[in-house]
A and B are shown apart, each in its own frame.
Chain A
């Protein structure tokens, strides 16, 4: 059982195991390990690696006694890793190839037969993570991606941050080569770090640096479990090149692959849920506000049930669809001003839900006003308090809440619904019923006003964003469609005009608002929809596309059907407005140069021919469309292409928002 060779590779493993000693030595005590030490002259030099568990611990970690030991002798470490990965049923692996993970790459495509997961070639690590994020938003399942050492993980960071802020799971393996004495000099050393996970630690939920095959198995399954337990978030494991390249060593213990069992999500405490129900039932004007609340149809159905029980107006924020756009209880945020009780469900920013900030340069900053009445009771259900990271400020301003409940919304709603039903008296039922009738009328009036607003500038060129969205919907309305994660800010017209009643009809924004997410995320969403036979459409902004256009090629290469209609306003429009705003605050004429927006904010002179860009990467594409009369026919052509299984892009010159 003992190792017999004394090659540098053995020393390399000693180095790695020694690196783990500091963290592990006090915590692990194993009679078996002790026995192994006593019986093996060389053993002290190898210990303590990821110390093998005793039989009891091994059985507990395996989750079931029927997990077979793994026959590993003589096989590459990366083959074992592939066997571990395959137990998680991860369907795809979007990644940019890299030397720092060549061993597992080879195992995945040869030993693993490039199936579960299937490698999808990406042109940038940011694309790999963005595709995984978009996929997760449709399926609620993580993909894994591989990143190339320090530089690859750095490339990936922005979309890791987006996924973190959006509470979506991605499993990341970062290639690394820890052993400074044995790794190749030059580039591989430049691309290595003593703690590579530190690059993303502030915005991942968990990370680890496995130093043995068994350690990898435990940590990979643990990482998957943590990523998929609400609050979802990305996780990262350092993938040591030596561990992946060298033959598997089991250190005298048979390797095993721990069984993955999904964790039951955290639900709100029963007493607090009853108190929330009491407040909601006794409210005259309760309002429900949902943000990243609902990921599944089941969750959406619960939310509809709760809103109908209370006949409470339902305000959608931009994290998820949450609630059908067709439902009469869906109301604009202005109803919050009249509320006496607000139930906030997984709000990204509760403070901004009940306060208003106006960027008007008052006292050099802006004006803040409360948007709720004095005495309004606030309830929250969410997992913000369960994600304890501090550096990045995505948790927003602190808002004091009367009944804060830590828990997953979908897991808590059934208990809240039951508590409401239990406590609802006949008197309150009658009163609540009357409230519903008024809301129904308001809803109809609101829909009429929205349609009329869409009619303004209907024939304008550049094309209005309302017209853009109406023309798209006309071509897809008879299909099982999904507006996949994408970047175009088109004044919310799809949510205002399109009937949406399934979570995949719209899955919300990027989370971190990092530009360069929309294109890869749309490809990831389309990948998920492809497997369901569902039609995918994206509204793609111009600025976003130029950050990571390589995702277009990945879609063509892997035959991912996607209709991408461009919201091309020829500028970084948010910045166009910001620089104009500052110019005005300072009483200066904004310097436009020769462009439409202030210098440095326009994407024109020359205009980018996105349709040609897409064509160059294997897409069917058309544009630029500037005449609204030509838009419908162009989209119709593109829809036919997408139905045949290919991606298609229509480049449309649009109004700014």
Chain B
């Protein structure tokens, strides 16, 4: 199963964004996608669909849990929430992200 090489970077970012979003409270997939789109706007150009493999991967890892419920407009929807393990993972990912951005920023400063 060949996969795009760029997803590695994207995946990490997407996972972080999902976890961060869910830290605010349980949400269904569409809600998460709206939220991420709001935050990142045009910077992260991903198909909305690629959110779902990421969600399921996080669920497979045990970082998020899911439950069927009723949406704000009375539709059946699958709600995701952050688990205990997900909370600590969010912390790990955030630190990692900060280290990377800091490193990249310092490289950029030196070069310019």
Q: Do A and B bind each other?
A: no
